[in-house]
Structure formats: structure tokens, C-alpha cells
A and B are shown apart, each in its own frame.
Chain A
Amino acid sequence: DAKTTQPNSMESNEEEPVHLPCNHSTISGTDYIHWYRQLPSQGPEYVIHGLTSNVNNRMASLAIAEDRKSSTLILHRATLRDAAVYYCILRDVWGKLTFGTGTRLTIIP
């Protein structure tokens, strides 16, 4: 399975943008890049996904490198409710999500 590498933890100040990096150098041409987050005591929650082009939705933006070997999740204005573990995942054509250990994001008031 293709793997992703993320920093174990990051901190950000409230109401500032947050850039969460992810490396996926072994990505295949058909893998989609997904981001999920897990709030305390909850199941993972979908954030955003993309294939080649940058993507925006109401929660976040996803910037994908031209060679697709890395991506960055951007939270434009972090709030305390964004404190969670963020997972960068490659989803294959069979639908499988292979989770890594994620990045624990702490928001400082």
C-alpha cells in the first residue's frame, strides 16, 4: 500500500491559517489524495480530496504538488474547533483507505 508521511504534531494560533504538509512519494497514478480529521472521541470525518488539481471546499483547501508526491491541507482561519488529528490518506481504485498516524493539530487561543 502506498504510504504517507506527516509531522506528528503542529501548533497554530487561533484565527491564523494552518498549512499541514504530507509526503506521498510512492503514490500511483490512480490514487486519490484524501484528508480526514478525527476530533476527540469521534470517528474520522472527511475534509477534502483531490487527484491532480488544487481543490477548495467550505472546510479547507488542498494544494497538490505538480508531481503529486506531496500535498498540503490549508485551513484558512483556524478555530479552536479545528483541533484534531489530521490524516493524509491515499485512496486506491478499490476504495481502500490506508491510514497513517496523522498530525495532531493544537490551536492556541
Chain B
Amino acid sequence: EAQVTQNPRYLITVTGKKLTVTCSQNMNHEYMSWYRQDPGLGLRQIYYSMNVEVTDKGDVPEGYKVSRKEKRNFPLILESPSPNQTSLYFCASSPPLGGNTEAFFGQGTRLTVV
């Protein structure tokens, strides 16, 4: 079954404690991205990757890092989480560049930073 898997689904952490949210896809997609969803603001793109070792900032990249060492994995790293990063996070993947392809989203990771 084609899927995007995020872990963990829920996470409560303290300010400043480094954390990583993993994302893995089994569809051999080149394009992967991370979004955060906040009430009243919809989904906003954090980072994206067009292929292995190719990453770039989205609309709200501050406070986040990503890496793309393998095609299937695209982890989201919070080096020093702060309460304003409390949010619902989604990872997505899709075939190569272009608008004529559908994107697949993970189930989400609800992060709370206290």
C-alpha cells in the first residue's frame, strides 16, 4: 500500500530539547515536503526536497532543519524547540516536479512544546 509514515504521532517535549520527527515514503517519490498546520492559518510549507541531498526553505523555515540522505526518508529536526512550534505537522511526497501529480500526506504529528 502506498503510504507516507510519520513518527511519532504525538509528542510532548520541553523547550530546548532537540527532537526529530521522521517521515518515510514507499512510493520512490523524488519530491518531499513538510507542512505545519495552525488554527486559522491553514497548512504552511516549512521545507521541501526535490531529491536526495537537495533541500530548500519553504514559507516558514525558521527554527527547523531537514535532511535528505535517502530517497525514502525526510526527517524534520527541531534543534531547540520553542512553544511557538507547538503545531500539527504533516509530511508529504509526490513524483517529480510539476503540477500534474498528486501529493500523498502522512497522518500527522501533533507536537506540544512546554
Q: Which residue of A lies closest to B94 (CB)?
A: A95
Contact flags A31-59 to B (C-beta < 8 A → 1, else 0)? 11010100001111110010100000000
Total interface residues in chain A, CB < 8 Å: 27
Question: Can you list, as one digit per residue, whether each of B11-36 has a CB less than 8 Å from chain A (1) or not (0)?
Answer: 00000000000000000000101010
| CB-CB nearest in chain A for B40 | A101
Count of B interface residues, CB-CB < 8 Å: 29
A92 interface residue (CB < 8 Å to B): yes
> Across the interface, do B94 and A96 meet the contact criterion of CB distance under 8 Å?
no
By DSSP majority rule, is chain A's interface helix, strand, loop, or mixed? loop
Q: Is B60's CB within 8 Å of the partner chain A?
A: no
A100 touches B101 (CB 8 A): no
Q: Are A102 and B97 in touch, CB under 8 angstroms?
A: no
Beta-carbon contact of B43 and A44 below 8 Å: yes
Contact of A95 with B31 in the complex, beta carbons under 8 Å: yes
**B102 interface contact, C-beta 8 A:** yes
Contact B107 A43 (CB under 8 A): yes
Contacts A32-B99, A93-B97, A94-B97 given; does A99 touch B104 at CB 8 Å: no
Is there a chain B Cβ closer than 8 Å to A108's Cβ?
no
Of the candidates B42, B58, B106, the one whose C-beta lies within 8 Å of that of A101 is: B42
Give the CA-CA distance A43 to B42 in the complex, in Å.
12
The minimal Cβ–Cβ distance linking A91 to chain B, given in whole angstroms, is 4
Cβ of B103 under 8 Å from chain A: yes
Q: Annotate B47-63 by CB proximity to A: 1 below 8 A, 0 otherwise.
A: 01010000000100000
Do A30 and B99 form a contact, CB below 8 Å, given A44-B105, A95-B31, A96-B48? yes
Residue positions of B touching A, CB distance < 8 A: 4, 31, 33, 35, 40-45, 48, 50, 58, 90, 92, 94, 96-108
